[in-house]
Structure 1
Amino acid sequence: MAEIVIRNLRKTFGDFTAVQSSSFRIEDGEFFMLLGPSGCGKTTTLRMIAGLELPSAGEVYIDGEEVGQKPASQRDIAFVFQMFALYPHMNVRRNIAYPLVSQGMPRAQVRAKVAEVAGILGIEDILDRPVGGLSGGDRQRVALGRAIVRNPKCFLMDEPLGALDAEFREHMADELRALHDRMGATTVYVTHDQLEAMQMGDKIVVMNHGVVEQFGTPQDIYDKPATMFVADFIGSPPMNFLRFHGSVATGDAHVRLHHQVLAVPALREPFDGGMVYGVRPEHVRLSDAAGYRGEIIAAEYLGTTQIVTLKTHNGEVKARIPSDQRARMGETVGLDFNGATVTLFDSQSGRAIRSDLNEGVLSHG
């Protein structure tokens, strides 16, 4: 398998810039997620790694070799598409075998490799069936088998589970991650689904409008969002944003919102101007003792928890609280925030204001 390094990668189509100076490193054997909304540049980035698109600028290294201007056939990668891209006139066995046959591998070796891959994927019983009559899950396994059989340096996957229904997609995500762990493969996986990325990935790049917003582990990206976009895109419900204007000094561990002092991680640089107080719903507690107040305007029951929406002077706040905790419509209650989990943002740039919590997260990408 192989390490993949992206340096200042850029792609333009006429006057449109699809990817803007992206840089990140994918470690050997890592399951790496390219995450973002439609049109953010993640698939274009994947296609440049694959050689299906040539970069306008920048470098792509696979296993230490610069391959940015090489065609896909010279990169030793396997690409798995969302719509499977199987050959409908071939059965399962011939679909999986095709890459080896096209390379001129002896028939006995082809049969052995196909049998090995079918055993890994648990599809031995459908090898002689036509692909047209298979379920979506089985067709995806066949597509994976065709990629695995060549034993390439890395696997590139463009939303391979997107065509499956929600329940089966979750099952296949578990299977795919388990397969990755057994093979020790380097895998780059494109998705717009934040839950899929958090469930499967070792590392995640979050992209928006062709820009890498943040690069890190799922926990770092969730706990230490580098931008308001990341904080809003990751999490369900997303992070709460309370807007205010204030001034903070280096080392300050509090801010003032509507005449109340609220805790934040110690700031590593001074700031004066428009700010956003970011806190996730699970870090909001309803407390009669808290001075910062909000009016309950909605409650959504979710079984063991409920999502309560409150109206405050600085905007709406959602709190994830136990389902048995009383939450009456129209009641005004105190809101207590876990200051150690708070992120402050510059309201103009949307970037996190550096603190002990987010130190280091802005340097990626």
Structure 2
Amino acid sequence: MAEIIIKNLRKEFGDFTAVQSSSFKIEDGEFFMLLGPSGCGKTTTLRMIAGLELPTSGEIYIDGEEVSQKPASQRDIAMVFQMFALYPHMNVRKNISYPLVSQGMPGAQVKEKVAEVAKILGIEDILNRSVGGLSGGDRQRVALGRAIVRDPKAFMMDEPLGALDAEFREHMAEELRALHDRMGATTVYVTHDQLEAMQMGDKIVVMNHGVIEQFGTPQDIYDKPATMFVANFIGSPPMNFLKGHGTLDVGATAVNLRHHSILIPEMREPFDGDITVGVRPEHVRLSDEGSYRGEILATEYLGTTQIVTLATDAGELKARIGSERRANVGDTVGLAFNASTLTLFNSQTGNALRSNLNIGVLGMGGAHG
């Protein structure tokens, strides 16, 4: 397997810049997620790593070798696509063995390798079946088998579960992660599904409009979003944004939200202007004694929890609370926040402000604003 290093990677299509000066490192054996909305540049980045697109500028290192201008055939990379790309005229066994046969591997060795991969994927019983009659999950396993059988340096996966229904996607995500752990493979995985990325990834790059907004572990990206885009994209429901304004000196521990002051993490840099206070729904507490008030607009029952939507003078917010707490539409309730769970943003640039709650790592390409 291999370490992959990306330095100042850029891709232009005419006047359009798809990827802007991206830099990051994928450790050997890591399950690495490229996450973002459609058109953000994640698939283009993956295709450049794989050699299916050549970068306009920048460097790509795979296992210590600079490969940015080398074709895909010289990179020892295996691709798994959303639409499986199986050969319909071949059965499962022939689909999996095709890469080895095309390389001229002896028949006995091919048979042994196919049997080994089929056992890993649990598809020994369908090796002689036509791929046309297989379920979506089995077809995906066959596509994975064809990639695995080559023992490549790294796997590139472009929305491989996108064609499956929601329930089966979750099951296959668990299987993919378990397979990765057994093989210790370096895997680069593209998805627009933040739950999939959080569930499976060791590290995540969050992209938007060709720029890396943040790079880090799932926990860091969730707890310490580096930009308002990341805070809004990650989480369901996403982070609440409350509008405020003020002059904050180094060491400040409170900010005004319209006509009310709330405690915040201690400021590590001065700031003057419009500020946005971010708080996750699960960190909003309904308190009978709270002086900061909100009117309940709606409730959504989810079994053990409920999502309560409230109107406040600093903006609408959602709270995730226990289902045993009575929350009646039209009631006015007090709201309380733990300062250590809040994230502060510059409202104009969207970037997180430095406080004693260390923010996540911004992408090397910078953030929007």
TM-score by length of 2: 0.98
Q: Give 1:361 deviation, angstroms.
A: 2.4
What is the CA–CA distance in structure 2 between the aligned matches of 1:87 and 1:98, rounded to whole Å?
9
Q: Give the whole-Å Cα distance in 1 for the aligned partners of 2:326 and 2:292.
A: 18
Separation in 2, partners of 1:364, 1:71: 26
Partners in 2 of 1:252 and 1:148 — Cα distance? 54
| 8 Å CA contact 1:92, 1:126 repeated in 2 | yes
* Alpha-carbon distance in structure 1 between the residues aligned to 2:268 and 2:133: 60
Query: Distance in 1 between the 2:332 and 2:270 partners?
Result: 34
1:255 deviates by 1.0
Match of residue 314 from structure 2? 314
The residue identity in structure 2 corresponding to 1:43 is T
Match of residue 62 from structure 1: 62
Q: Work out the CA distance in 2 between the residues paired with 1:179 and 1:276.
A: 42
Could you say which residue in structure 2 is the equivalent of 1:201?
201
Fraction of identical pairs, as percent = 80
Moved more, 202-211 or 285-294: 285-294
1:269 matches 2:266: no
Alignment of 1:117-132 (within 5 A): 117-132=117-132
Pair 1:237-2:269 in alignment: no
Partner residue in 2 for 1:7: 7
Cα distance in 2, alignment partners of residues 167 and 306 from structure 1:
22
CA distance, structure 2, for counterparts of residue 252 and residue 96 of structure 1: 62
Which range is displaced more, 258-267 or 180-189? 258-267
Instruction: Go from structure 1 to structure 2 and tell me whether the alpha carbon gap of 1:237 and 1:45 turns closer, same or farther (over 3 Å shift).
Output: same
Question: 3-state DSSP class of the match of 1:243?
Answer: strand
Please state if 1:93 is matched with 2:56. Answer: no
SS at the partner of 1:169? Answer: helix
CA contact (8 A) 1:21 1:58 kept: yes
Q: Which residue of 2 aligns with 1:353?
A: 353
1:254 aligns with 2:220: no
Q: Give, in whole Å, the separation in 2 of the partners of 1:63 and 1:266.
A: 43
Residue matched to 2:82:
82
2:23 maps to 23
Structure 2 residues without counterparts, runs of 5 or longer: none
Q: Is the contact between residue 226 and residue 358 of structure 1 (CA under 8 Å) also seen in structure 2?
A: no
| In 2, Cα distance between equivalents of 1:337 and 1:179 | 41
Report whether the alignment pairs 1:192 with 2:192. yes
- The answer to whether the 8 Å contact 2:300/2:308 transfers is yes
CA positional deviation for 1:357: 1.3
Q: Report what 2:138 is aligned to.
A: 138
Q: Could you tell me which amino acid in structure 2 is paired with residue 102 of structure 1?
A: S
| Cα distance in structure 2, aligned partners of 1:193 and 1:360 | 20
Q: Which amino acid letter does the alignment assign opposite residue 322 of structure 2?
A: P
> How far apart, in 2, do the equivalents of 1:289 and 1:362 lie?
38
For residues 261 and 243 of structure 1, what CA distance do their matches in structure 2 show? 12
Secondary structure of the residue that 1:262 maps to in structure 2?
Answer: strand
Q: Which string of whole-angstrom CA distances, capped at 9 and with x for unpartnered residues, describes residues 284-320 of structure 1? A: 0001221111111110000000000110111101000
SS of the equivalent of 2:6 reads strand
Q: Secondary structure at the match of 1:344?
A: strand
Shift in CA distance, 218/263, structure 1 to aligned 2, threshold 3 Å: same
Shift of 1:354: 1.0
Alpha-carbon shift at residue 333 of structure 1 (Å): 0.9
Cα drift, residue 162 of structure 1: 0.4
* Deviation by residue 1:242-263 (Cα, 9 ceiling, x = unmatched): 1122111111122122332212
Question: How do 1:142-157 residues align onto structure 2 when only pairs under 5 Å count?
Answer: 142-157=142-157
Normalised to the residue count of structure 1, the TM-score between the two structures is 0.99
How far apart in 2 are the matches of 1:84 and 1:241? 40
Amino acid paired to 1:116: E
What code does the residue aligned with 1:245 have?
H
- Cα contact 1:352–1:358 (8 A) shared by 2: no
Q: Once superposed, what is the RMSD of the aligned Cα atoms?
A: 0.9
For residue 153 of structure 1, what is the amino acid of its counterpart?
A: K
Letter in 2 for 1:137: G
Q: Give the stretch that moved more between structures: 255-264 or 157-166.
A: 255-264
Residue 145 of structure 1 aligns to a residue whose secondary structure is helix
Contact 1:225 1:358 in 2 (8 A): no
Task: Indicate conservation of the 8 Å contact 2:276/2:347, yes or no.
Answer: yes
What do the CA deviations read for 1:164-204 (whole angstroms, capped 9, x no partner)?
00000000000000000000000000000000000000000
Amino acid at match of 2:302: L
CA distance in 1, matches of 2:363, 2:68: 24
| Per-residue CA distance 1:269-290 (angstroms, 9 max, x = gap) | 0000011010000000001221
Deviations 1:71-130 (A, max 9, x none): 000000100000000011110000000000111100110000000000000000000111
Alpha carbons of structure 1 residues 364 and 355: separation in structure 2 relative to 1, 3 Å:
farther
Aligned length: 365
Confirm or deny: 8 A CA contact 1:263 1:340 kept in the other structure.
no
Letter in 2 for 1:267: M
Report 1:43-58 matches (<5 A): 43-58=43-58
Secondary structure of 2:199 counterpart: helix
d(CA) in 2 for partners of 1:110, 1:249: 68
Distance 2:303 2:332 in 1: 24
Paired amino acid for 2:139: R
Q: CA deviation at 1:322?
A: 0.6
